[in-house]
Amino acid sequence: METLYDPAWAESWDAVGLVCGDPTQPVRKILFAVDPVAVVVDEALEYGADLIITHHPLYLRGTTSVAATTFKGRAIHRLIRNDVALYTAHTNADVADPGVSDALARAVGLSGELRPLQPSADDPRRGLGRIGTLTAPVPLREFAGRAASGLPRTAGPLRVAGDPERPVATVAVSGGAGDSLLGAARASGADVFLTADLRHHPASEFVESEGGPALIDASHWATEWPWLADAAERLTSALAARGINVEARVSRIVTDAWTSTTP
Ligand SMILES: [Zn+2]
């Protein structure tokens, strides 16, 4: 994992790598998931996983206790009691090439070449978000429909800001909360920017200022989930090339925070 997703690429505020587990312990089965939450631990135990690899950290900020009095402490206890390790690849997976947004771009229908929306300073081949071009322009409503069917289903629909008939050829995407890339999306000349967790004021100001891309707001979990299969494939192939066979499963449990919508 550290060869594919170098921990040095992670943001300074991030917490990536091994959360719990003994590095000398053999690993035969790996469960990939977005969130290190209780239902994912349940699935890991049922599957007989030795390792869970999640995108989101369990502890992003420091803690002074892993007592089983919080959901995080309970997760740690259950993992250690059952000899299951937990490993996180977060912002280092976001900026990897290929990384989280490459998988998202493919899921929403971009088949051609992709480049980072905000290239990393140390290596412009890596970076946050991706931008690419559709093989033929389509109206925004059609692109949104394709994106919705390409992403895993969650409780809510995709939200769209922009003229539904607007032609879309160039598409910018960013897995997870993409507020910070609104400026890069505008500067990129994309026709639409698809991300998650967009808030009213940044989104409203963005669409009121003419000349920028339309916006599509998807569920946070759905925008990051497509990366799991890519990471599982890259890891198991890299290990197989060294003669090491591990089994990997991608969790299909929807752990998005939003669980239902009104009719
Ligand atoms: Zn995320």
CATH number for 14: 3.40.1390.30
Same domain? 73 vs 172? no
Find the 238 Cα to ligand 1 centroid distance in Å: 25
Dihedral pair phi/psi, residue 248, rounded to 5°: -125, 145
Find the 103 Cα to ligand 1 centroid distance in Å: 14
**Cα(137)–Cα(170) distance, rounded to whole angstroms?**
8
Verdict on whether the full-model pTM lies above 0.85: yes
Q: Residue 140 falls within a domain, yes or no?
A: yes
List the domain range (segments joined by +) for residue 134: 108-218
Q: Residue 130 falls within a domain, yes or no?
A: yes
Find the 112 Cα to ligand 1 centroid distance in Å: 25
Q: What share of the chain is helix, strand, coil (3-state, %, to 5)?
A: 35, 25, 45
* Beta bridge partner(s), residue 116: 130
What mean pLDDT is predicted for residues 185-202?
Answer: 97
Same domain? 176 vs 133? yes
Nearest to 143 by CA among 187, 114, 173, 186: 173
Same domain? 140 vs 46? no
Find the 190 Cα to ligand 1 centroid distance in Å: 22
Q: Residue 100 falls within a domain, yes or no?
A: no
Find the 225 Cα to ligand 1 centroid distance in Å: 9
* pLDDT tops 90 at residue 37: yes
Same domain? 187 vs 209? yes
Find the 243 Cα to ligand 1 centroid distance in Å: 32
Same domain? 35 vs 115? no
CB–CB of 251/40 below 8 Å?
yes
Find the 58 Cα to ligand 1 centroid distance in Å: 12
Q: What is the pLDDT of residues 115-169, one digit of tens each?
A: 999 999 999 999 999 999 999 999 999 999 999 999 999 999 999 999 999 999 9
pLDDT of residue 252: 98
CB–CB of 162/141 below 8 Å?
no
Find the 180 Cα to ligand 1 centroid distance in Å: 13
Same domain? 112 vs 208? yes
CB–CB of 173/130 below 8 Å?
yes
Q: What is the pLDDT of residues 63-92, one digit of tens each?
A: 999 999 999 999 999 999 999 999 999 999
Q: Residue 82 falls within a domain, yes or no?
A: yes
Query: Which of the two residues, 263 and 223, has the higher pLDDT score?
Result: 223
Same domain? 159 vs 205? yes
What mean pLDDT is predicted for residues 174-202?
Answer: 97
Grade residue 263 by pLDDT with cuts at 50, 70 and 90. Answer: confident
**Cα(115)–Cα(109) distance, rounded to whole angstroms?**
15
Same domain? 65 vs 141? no
Find the 218 Cα to ligand 1 centroid distance in Å: 12
Find the 5 Cα to ligand 1 centroid distance in Å: 16
Grade residue 210 by pLDDT with cuts at 50, 70 and 90. Answer: confident
Find the 35 Cα to ligand 1 centroid distance in Å: 9
pLDDT of residue 242: 96
Grade residue 11 by pLDDT with cuts at 50, 70 and 90. Answer: very high
